[in-house]
Chain A
Amino acid sequence: MTGRYVVGRVADIPEGGRVLVEVGGRQVGVFNVGGSFYGLINRCPHKGAEMCKGNVVAGLTSARPGEFEYDEGTALLMCPWHGWEFDVRTGQSWFDPRTRLRTYDVAVAGPDEVEGMPVADRVTDRVAGPYVAETVEVGVEDGYVVVDLRKARKARATRETPEARPTEPAGKGGDR
């Protein structure tokens, strides 16, 4: 978990694209969302799936049946095992009032910009889940995408929520 690693050129990861790299002994998914780069450790905080291989989808909420709010400004990574949605930029899970993924900040260490770690909270109609995926910082320097493992944010799962009721079987709410 030390050091900074060049993982590719900016041109290698077009908007909406991603690469999966191994740096410092860790697998990191680097995503280009709207021209900004974000990094997530390739391990779902729920059950350990290689989450960075899941589909990236837009936000989708609804106030009532038949009405859809499709939010392309939000990028959600769906873990391939259970379909849970994690915000690519923050690692926040949005499926379940108890879970969250931890994002690695993938900053673009370019000559003119350094993308910090946005604390995006666009999916405001939904209740944040208990997991946060592990994020890494990703930057762009001179047209190269650089992953900085020194600025990782650990995955976590919040547990003290009203949802933790005795109606749940032991473990995490009856997950497979």
Chain B
Amino acid sequence: MTTALLAGTTRDELWPDPVIDCDVHANVPSLEALFPYLSRHWVAWCTERGWHGPVGGVNLAYPPGSDRSCRPEWRPADRPPASELGLLQQHVLDPWRVERAILTCYYAVDALRHPDWAAALARAVNDWLVAEWLDRDPRLAGTLVVPARDPAAMIEEIHRVGDHPGFVQVLLPVRHAALWGQRQFHPVFQAMTEHGLVAGLHFGGVTTDAPSSTGYSSYYVEEYAAEWQSFTAQVTSLVSEGVFQVCPELRVSVLEGGFTWLPVWGWRMDKEWKGLRREVPWLDRRPLEIIREHMRFSVAPADLGTREQTATVLEWLGSDDMLMFATDYPHGYDDDIAQLLAAAPPAMRPRLMADTARDWYRL
């Protein structure tokens, strides 16, 4: 599989020029690993109760033993996958010779309802990311986590660490108690733009509501296959609520959410906008135009068809600048970056592999 190990090909055969990986993951190996970054009060809060971490963490969507959760070649024998920098370097940063990689850690901080504990845990995760990842490999650029149930606390954390040169993005779990475009979050997006941070709309999130728009599914296969519903709902919300009129500088990365749905969604949205424009009169342009200006999409996982079909979808995107390469380390999907590159017009390829992400994240 090309994205994983460059098996059957080499980095240079596949793509000789620069590579930026816009979506690699760090897993918190254990709650105890965060103790050095928590105050004694919060450490005691955990130890006194025998608490071992947020329920509904990464394991909710990714069962620990599944090959989806970690490609077998990347699974260490004695530690959780992707739980330390050395693994990431060995598996992705070195073999891919990445120019930069955008690191994201989903630790389900948004699952916590205790407002102070959620904020404390978000701080700990961010400080752990800085100390054990970002400060130790200049190729990494980080995504900070926020206590997503509390807009004021989100803003506080963005102000606290947003100027650290290692952070370029804020993690917004795609599943959330509310749609991200709504008014209570506008100040959060303003805080992001103040610090020049990208909003990273990413797979995951723990909500009281069902992950689908119409109830709980029975199987993981349904969840993976239907996750784009959550992404389209959030993208539609961000556009319709006028977030980009409030924050004209805002950039949103759509990560681990696919992209083939975008043109079809866009046609629908453009059409509805023509007829129902009076409801949202701040939308002075077609929604797809707004998307092209304010959003970029990672390519893993990708819902690729044949080369011809893929080429058609890429053409429908209407821009060579929408997609950003990602390995989605350590998750295991069947995407074939060689197939995607073959389907992409030549002008798009360097954009997709590095240039777009470099510009987008101001790397």
Contacts and interface: CB of A to CB of B under 8 A. Distances in A.
B318 A96 contact: no
Contact of B278 (A60, A65, A97): A60
B271 A174 contact: yes
A78 to B, nearest CB: 8
A127 to B, nearest CB: 7
Interface in B262-301: 263, 266-268, 270-271, 274-278, 281-282, 284-286, 288
B275 A83 contact: yes
B258 interface: no
Contacts of A95: 274-275, 277
Contacts of A57: 278
B205 interface: no
Interface string A56-93: 01001111111111000000000000111100000000
A125 interface: yes
B318 A166 contact: yes
B286 A97 contact: yes
Contacts of B183: 65-66
B245 A167 contact: no
Interface in B219-242: 241-242
Contacts of B276: 83
For the complex, would chain A's binding face be called helix, strand, loop or mixed by DSSP majority? loop
Contacts of B267: 168-169, 173-174
A151 interface: no
Contacts of B117: none
A174 B281 CA distance: 21
A175 interface: yes
Contact of A167 (B274, B277, B288): B288
B282 A62 contact: yes
10 contacts: A64-B246, A65-B246, A67-B282, A84-B275, A95-B275, A96-B286, A125-B284, A127-B284, A163-B286, A176-B271
Interface of B: 183, 186, 241-242, 245-246, 263, 266-268, 270-271, 274-278, 281-282, 284-286, 288, 315-318
Given A62-B245, A84-B274, 4 more contacts: A65-B282, A67-B282, A95-B274, A166-B315
